Amino acid sequence: MTDTSRGAGSTSNGGRSRRVTMSDVARKAGVSAAAVSYALSGAPGVSDESRQRILAIAEEMGFRPSRIARELRSGTTKAIGLLLADIANPFYTEVAGGVVAAAAEEGYEVFVSHVGVDGSRQSDVAFAQVDRNCSGLIFTSLVAADKPLLDKLRHENIPVVQLYRQIQDEPSDWVGIDDYSASFEMASHVVATGRRKVAILGGPDTSSVSVNRMNGYRDALAKAGLRAVNEPDVWGELTRPAGALRARALFAEHPEIEAVVCGNDMIALGVLDVSREIGKRVPEDLALTGFDDMSFSSAGPLQLSTVTVPRDLMGQRAARMLLQRLAGDKGPARKELLPYGIQVRETTARRV
């Protein structure tokens, strides 16, 4: 006969493990759920004898109280919120991994939300996180239009960290890389391979990251006496389908293009898709670069030249910044630049 009274070992619904609840302990002890709560929390309301008996039964049954529920009752929730622009993009999942790992070291849970690439749900999601008792928030896709949102959160004493993107003159912590210098170096490398007819496919002009990358690309070309062949039509979405759509129009209008520098690796994948469709060889006919150095960038035959961004470390640093604020740090806003790397691979090989 199976003993169904033992917490982690209890089963129901066809043999699946079921967590022992406070009500289960109350039924076994023949007391109310309130009495169990008093006994577990050490609050008055039960005799010492009853308390010891309830605690013994709870231990016997393998009862494990919900930490989040306990913290909610005490008003000391150890949870933070992470708002991601595009949870389908591997860039953000790796950032999230860093945030979760660093938060866990301090006993914090992380509630992850998807706000969409256009950020239209940013405010609604942020306040939903606050309503769920998140003590602080990490944003990955802020734009200038979100400044009133951050002002309101500050008024409500909710600390915020800007991860990667940042709003200028916003007095909250930020962590990221020097996107301008990284893109300048990458475009300079492309020019050094002998390519003169270069196109730029950047991200949205509302993103501080995309703007910094665009400025770096443009300035590197200008230093070489060049201008992107597709100016001013350089802005767009940071997705593979968008990259393919833009590449088709680009190659149709400028068949002489010798290189495309992209705002991220996803755009570069879309360009590569179209290049293969029309028979344009990479790197023989076209040099191609990305940005972010996602895992697929060096997989198999792709070997995409790109910029390495320390995504996991960035997530860890953002979480630690936020946790320091929650621990009482009232110092001035901090701006932390992390190192990047230029990865020169086969897609920018010099012409023979």
Identify whether residues 209 and 297 lie together within a single domain.
Answer: yes
| Cα–Cα dist 148/157, whole Å | 14
What is the number of domains present in the chain?
3
Residue 352: DSSP 8-state: -
The domain in which residue 160 lies consists of: 78-177+311-338
Residues in the chain: 352
Among 37, 65, 93, the domain-final residue is 65
Identify whether residues 139 and 286 lie together within a single domain.
Answer: no
- Asked whether the bond before 148 is cis by omega within 30 degrees of 0, the reply is no
Q: Is position 72 within any domain?
A: no
Identify whether residues 132 and 280 lie together within a single domain.
Answer: no
Residue 280: DSSP 8-state: -
Do residues 84 and 114 make contact, with C-beta atoms less than 8 angstroms apart?
Answer: yes
Q: How many CB atoms sit inside 10 A of residue 44's CB?
A: 8
User: What per-residue confidence (pLDDT) applies to 42?
Assistant: 73
Alpha carbon of 222 to those of 86, 184, 305: distances in Å? 33, 10, 21
Do residues 81 and 120 make contact, with C-beta atoms less than 8 angstroms apart?
Answer: no
Do residues 138 and 323 make contact, with C-beta atoms less than 8 angstroms apart?
Answer: no
Closest Cα partner for 289 from 325, 265, 256? Answer: 265
Residue type (1 letter), 304: L
Identify whether residues 93 and 235 lie together within a single domain.
Answer: no
Q: Which residue has the tokens 């060049």?
A: 226
Identify whether residues 164 and 199 lie together within a single domain.
Answer: no
Q: Is position 171 within any domain?
A: yes
Per-residue pLDDT of the chain (352 residues; tens, 9 = 90+): 333 333 444 444 444 456 778 888 889 999 887 788 778 777 777 888 888 998 899 888 887 765 555 554 555 568 999 999 888 888 999 999 999 999 999 999 999 998 877 777 899 999 999 888 899 999 998 999 999 999 999 988 999 999 999 998 899 999 999 999 999 999 999 999 999 999 999 999 999 999 999 999 999 999 999 999 999 999 999 999 999 999 999 999 999 999 999 999 999 999 999 999 999 999 999 999 999 999 899 988 889 999 999 999 999 999 999 999 999 999 999 999 999 999 999 999 987 6
Identify whether residues 221 and 298 lie together within a single domain.
Answer: yes
Identify whether residues 48 and 130 lie together within a single domain.
Answer: no
Do residues 280 and 253 make contact, with C-beta atoms less than 8 angstroms apart?
Answer: no
Task: Output phi, psi for 47, to 5 deg.
Answer: -75, 165
Identify whether residues 301 and 316 lie together within a single domain.
Answer: no
Q: Return all residues near 28 (Cβ < 8 A) that are at least 6 apart.
A: 5, 57, 61
Q: Is position 1 within any domain?
A: no
User: What per-residue confidence (pLDDT) applies to 182?
Assistant: 98
| Cα–Cα dist 264/256, whole Å | 23
Show the tokens assigned to 349: 């090989």
User: What per-residue confidence (pLDDT) applies to 242?
Assistant: 95
Q: Is position 88 within any domain?
A: yes
How are beta strands 306-308 and 341-343 bridged, if at all?
antiparallel
Identify whether residues 55 and 122 lie together within a single domain.
Answer: no
Which DSSP helix (H) or strand (E) runs through 223?
Answer: helix 208-223
Q: Which residue has the tokens 């979760």?
A: 100
User: What per-residue confidence (pLDDT) applies to 87?
Assistant: 81
User: What per-residue confidence (pLDDT) applies to 5?
Assistant: 35
Residue 292: DSSP 8-state: B
Do residues 188 and 220 make contact, with C-beta atoms less than 8 angstroms apart?
Answer: yes
Q: Is position 2 within any domain?
A: no
Q: In CATH, what number is assigned to the domain containing residue 134?
A: 3.40.50.2300
Q: Return all residues near 217 (Cβ < 8 A) that are at least 6 apart.
A: 183, 184, 186, 187, 200, 202, 228, 261
Query: Which DSSP string corresponds to 3-46?
Result: -TTSGGG-EETTTEE----HHHHHHHHTS-HHHHHHHHHT-SSS
Identify whether residues 323 and 303 lie together within a single domain.
Answer: no
Q: Return all residues near 5 (Cβ < 8 A) that are at least 6 apart.
A: 24, 28, 60, 61
Estimate the share of the chain in helix, then strand, then coil, as percent rounded to the nearest 5. Answer: 45, 15, 40
Identify whether residues 300 and 315 lie together within a single domain.
Answer: no
Q: Is position 70 within any domain?
A: no
Q: Is position 209 within any domain?
A: yes
User: What per-residue confidence (pLDDT) applies to 61?
Assistant: 85
Q: In CATH, what number is assigned to the domain containing residue 46?
A: 1.10.260.40
Read off the pTM. Answer: 0.77
Query: Which DSSP string corresponds to 48-111?
Result: HHHHHHHHHHHHHHT----HHHHHHHHT---EEEEEES-TTSHHHHHHHHHHHHHHHHTT-EEE
Identify whether residues 214 and 325 lie together within a single domain.
Answer: no
User: What per-residue confidence (pLDDT) applies to 76?
Assistant: 53
Q: Is position 11 within any domain?
A: yes
User: What per-residue confidence (pLDDT) applies to 1?
Assistant: 31
Residue type (1 letter), 223: K
Do residues 314 and 98 make contact, with C-beta atoms less than 8 angstroms apart?
Answer: yes
User: What per-residue confidence (pLDDT) applies to 254?
Assistant: 95
Among 65, 96, 115, the domain-final residue is 65
Partnered with residue 201 across adjacent β-strands are 262
Closest Cα partner for 20 from 57, 49, 74? Answer: 57
